[in-house]
Structure 1
């Protein structure tokens, strides 16, 4: 039997720390790296550590990591890998990972992460989010079906816990005024699951609440792109409505003036031209073109802030370039441009 767990001895120890989120890293505290040279050695140590305190028969480990071999060669490989682990962990004394009669004091990030999520406080959620650096054992791939099945299941379970913790942390942060911390949490959530359209809306609202309207408009474009690419759908009506609301908001004149050179004024469409284009926009509805509208809306927002740029619309005749420009002009007129 091979055990992992807490050391019953209360004496001094060199504690072994395992970081399993985002890859595999082993070190003796405070900062001495431990070399586990083989992928199966890393996989075996990680498996023994999750969860701590559980006994594992050697035959089970042999089937997990050397399932394509006969029983005796597989057991020999377990024995050789354990020898490598003993050698690498020799400096840890005493231990909580008991390889037969030997032990190693073990600290693992995954159980700490799970405890923080279970605590359910905002501070605990923040710490859990910091601990979750990426998928469990990211980059560790073995051509062993039993181990891969276990690893994929654990990755999905822990990822869902991370999403739950970050979502609850974001809900707590949103109850206060919009903040950089809330924006960072929303970005983390979308990094883990970019298809959470409600989180895209939350991030747009946070950007807009902090006066970062161009960033809010760009976020809509990011949302639109990922939904079209991954699911082949457009944003929900609620998301489109939020985008239009942010697009039509007037920025503070003083803030725009301060971003310009002294005495300068932002250039706008000539009034007759704007009116003609706006009238053309009202004659026929514009269907689709969500990405293009979002991109042009972001450029218009930057222009309102005093950062001029040139945007070229390219494409074959008859695909709707003039109609798209007319819609942009209508948006500008509605904002007083």
Structure 2
């Protein structure tokens, strides 16, 4: 048996459609199929015939069961006091399959299962179906409908997020449009559609999407778009230019490591991630991976994202600052080595005096930028490690829009660090 409850309710046995005689027969089957334990007869009477006296209500339940058992006897366990759906008998229920695919997809971090679940959602639960004089059933159905609808919206949102992250415009547009069909007030989906249209060269469509969002919010909710939406619209109008960067050119095309690169991009897109360390042995490609992740934020197709480093993306090489390497007794490395390296990378002239660190932090305080600190392990085990790690912590606390990617042979072991 195949039972479809998402959209219009249908029952199939083999290739044939089972025509259930009454709305209450359909309601009873749907309710039993989605419960995992036997239901007492008095509960089912209250659910579907709560307005009737007990005796006629019980007779109606018996008559409805008789009707169902004509075609579906194998799927119903009818006992004197209880009635249950026979889940052990082979069957398929789209609601349960939808929820199982979502659960498996989340557990395995497998978006193909999420896409499978979304494909199963052919409409809201029992769409357009109602039962007269059955308030308890209607309340149950409405609650289940809202629960499933929210699960679908979250699933669609995750697929749109992934499409935007990877520049999959066609897929992203399809899922974002479906998301807005279900929830026209979901402003983040409007923003993502604006980005997707712009990134695929449809500037007018991107601007029109903003206008549609503004009108829907004004007419339906009486509110204005969020500041993030307005800021995105203004960036579209201004046609933002790429941010400054000093990333070194690479002699060849970066190929492979898409899983690692995607993981880094997702972490950088997370507002909670301020310090990300790429850990690995020497020669493992940490620097190239960090550079490719950073380069992504300088490309035209990333300029409209919410994580836009409009003040720049800067590479800070640290390998030559090792106390055991470049320094000597004649030319001791200064304790402000990291400070000077960052200042040089971002184009800040350090003033003379004892407050250079605070001057740099004041300069960075209002900046939205990305720093790539390469080979940080060179600073972890010499006499100046403590003040330089302290500078990193102060930067994270005092410059809230600055994000840092470090490469190192070992973690930095800071509270803010993501590895």
TM-score, with length taken from structure 1: 0.64
Q: What residue number does 2:121 align with?
A: 132
2:92 to 92, 107, 127: 107
Deviation for aligned residue 1:105? 4.2
Q: How many residues align?
A: 229
- 1:274-303 alpha-carbon deviations (Å, 9 max, x no partner): xxxxxxxxxxxxxxxxxxxxxxxxxxxxxx
Q: What residue number does 1:307 align with?
A: none
Question: C-alpha separation between the residues in 2 aligned to 1:182 and 1:220?
Answer: 17
Alignment of 1:142-291 (within 5 A): 142=131, 143-249=133-239
- 1:137-156 alpha-carbon deviations (Å, 9 max, x no partner): 01111231111111111111
2:77 to 98, 109, 114: 98
Question: C-alpha separation between the residues in 2 aligned to 1:155 and 1:65?
Answer: 18
Deviation for aligned residue 1:234? 1.6
Deviation for aligned residue 1:76? 0.6
Does residue 1:78 correspond to 2:61, yes or no? yes
Deviation for aligned residue 1:174? 2.0
Q: What residue number does 2:253 align with?
A: none
Does residue 1:62 correspond to 2:75, yes or no? no
Q: Is the 8 A contact 1:178 1:209 kept in 2?
A: no
Q: Which has the higher contact order (CA 8 A, sep 6+)?
A: 1
Paired residue secondary structure (1:89): helix
Paired residue secondary structure (1:127): helix
Q: Mind listing any 5+ residue stretches in structure 1 that lack a counterpart? A: 1-15, 251-337
Q: Is the 8 A contact 2:69 2:76 kept in 1?
A: no
Paired residue secondary structure (1:136): coil
Does residue 1:48 correspond to 2:38, yes or no? no
Deviation for aligned residue 1:19? 0.6
Q: CA RMSD in A?
A: 2.0
Paired residue secondary structure (2:150): helix
Q: What residue number does 2:406 align with?
A: none
**Larger-gyration structure (1/2):** 2
Question: C-alpha separation between the residues in 2 aligned to 1:63 and 1:32?
Answer: 32
Q: Is the 8 A contact 2:176 2:192 kept in 1?
A: yes
Question: C-alpha separation between the residues in 2 aligned to 1:218 and 1:87?
Answer: 55
